[in-house]
Chains A and B, each alone.
Chain A
Amino acid sequence: MLLEQILNGLTIGSTYALVAIGFTMVFGVLELINFANGSIYMLGGYITLMLYLGMGGHFLLAFVLSILLTGVVGFAMDRIVLSHLRAKKAPKLTGLIATMGIATVIDNVILLFFGSQTKPYPNMIDFGRFYIGETAVNSSQLVILAVAILLMVLLSLLTYCTKLGKAMRCTAQNADAARLMGINVNLIIALTFFISSMLAAVAGTMVGMYYQSIDINAGFTVGMKTMASAVLGGVGVLPGAMVGGLLVGLFETLGASYISSGYRDAIAFAILILVILFKPAGLFGKKKINKV
């Protein structure tokens, strides 16, 4: 029973981790709290569903197209709105309000297209369940965990072993210095949004398949939980977002089954507040020194 709950928690936590990585990457390069991230996660799930139904059952193709399309939405969001604000040297809060506005727009476009009722979602990764000892394991859980781990490894390689990743880390450290070194900062930021939105689309689709349903309120809660995950692990640190996401998923599943299911969504935040109380930089974050 306990092992099953842990597996459930890790499954859902790994999807939080994917979204949280995107959130933390954007925060890293822009110091912007991207409120549209949750909506983009939901958008990815809906686009996959729409393409799957529209193309008559080519799920894999629909999934890939949806990931790309959602990535383009994120890219466009930066290119049209946020880069414009950066060019005007707008205060940081403006960007945040703009992402809130974008989230409202995305949510309502989805509402207009799909209506407010919960939609059934095809589960293409369900190959039955089997037992390891006493523990029941669902194949979709394994697929989700495998995909999430694969993506995390790929992202780590991208960030720490490629030129593009180096450019991203440079931009995060100091955008002006990066520009002086010949890095196209605006393109790097837009690409970060592209990657972050793609990750959100993967997570949105997988969660849709896992629960076999998708509804219009999914984005907001997940957006908040991934924010909590990112801060829990240490904002701007990739491994932090991964561990943070897994921990949030784990704690909320365990809390829901052993403490009270009503407080499921509160548990993640209670832990977050405790962590901030004792280790403000997050589990993996480094303490910043105040410079004058």
Chain B
Amino acid sequence: MVKRRELSRNARDNIDYYLLMAVPFVLIFIFSYLPLFGVVIAFQNYTPGKPFIGASTVWVGMKHFITFIKSYYFTRILRNTVVLNFMGLLMGFWVPVVFALVVNEIPKRRYKNFIQTVSYMPNFISTVVVAGMVLTFIANDGIITRLINAFGFNVKSLNATASVFPWVYTLTNIWKSFGWSSILYLSTITSIDPELYESADIDGASRLGKIAHITFPMMLPLVMIQLIFAVGNMLGSNTEMVLLLYNSAVYSTADVIGTYVYRDSLLGVKYSYGTASGLLLSVMSFVLVFGANAISRKTTNFSLW
């Protein structure tokens, strides 16, 4: 008797739970899963307005993938993505690490808080505004162009010069994100056992010595993990930022997969081809992330899954 009551209680609970989850799950199904099924159009000649799979579906196998790989866009997109990520890594990766170390050494607590607050700010400014600011700064009468020319150079139309774009993009990203990225490093520093510093003080260590022998080594595992993931993300790209900063004069160095699919395939209504090219890059990127994760698990005992 008791058991039956428990069972019905259980069943009633579960009905409640499923009713609660139903609406969000339907939303997730529609807006996350249906597009996932939609990837099948990469293997078709999809006609807009038709269902993903139906009686009139024309299957074409790998045709669109091959077209994309053979087109010169494929190598250009790969090269641009790797160059942009590599520059970001080289110029930007160490910035939050060093910034966290510097902020941690600021002697005045209130000034330290102030610098932190300021450094997080760009993270809250929208990409549109950041890009808009940068574009007016690098216009011919913009402050950055004038600043560069004040040093005796004579540069103009920076926003339309292909070789300049990767620099603009990289520096903009660093400006926007270095403060925010330093939060994790700073929290690692604050979790270091103060006794380590105390015993170093007794041994007469200098502050630089303490950074080199305590703070930095304690941060190193996190730095390594972040580095591995940054390398794993080498084929990922910030479509929105590129889309906002680029223009037709700099496609040769700026175009990444997201901007290409948007411009060429979405606006150009080449749905199957665009899905195929996007899918190819996703798969390549996934393999890389997966590989980086496997390496991370082996070497640092840390992994995403």
Q: Say whether A and B bind each other.
A: no
